[in-house]
Amino acid sequence: MSNIVDARGRSCPEPVVMTGQAVAAYNGETIEVLVDSMVAVENIKRFAGSKGFEVEVKENDEEYSLLIKK
């Protein structure tokens, strides 16, 4: 998986902006977004859903991995 967006340690709206750039360049491969805030998780899920993407969230301690695909 080469489409990884590491937005850990960044505050909103930056993780959403970074995800938006990855979505704009979507090439059919799953996009993995790494964040460390539940607020970022919810905002990214809402954004990606509005663009027609499915989002799967995996939690690991206090970090989250969002897998975004069509």
* Fold held by 3-69: Translation Initiation Factor IF3 (3.30.110)
Whole-number pLDDT of residue 33: 98
The pLDDT profile of the chain, 70 residues, written as one tens digit per residue, is 469 999 999 998 999 999 999 999 999 999 999 999 999 999 999 999 999 999 999 999 889 999 999 9
Whole-number pLDDT of residue 12: 86
**Residue 29 near residue 43 (C-beta atoms within 8 A):** no
Q: With a threshold of 0.85, does the pTM exceed it?
A: yes
Residue whose tokens read 């970090």: 63
Q: Known catalytic residue: 33? A: no
Structural domain boundaries in the chain: 3-69
Q: Which of these is catalytic: 3, 8, 10, 12?
A: 12
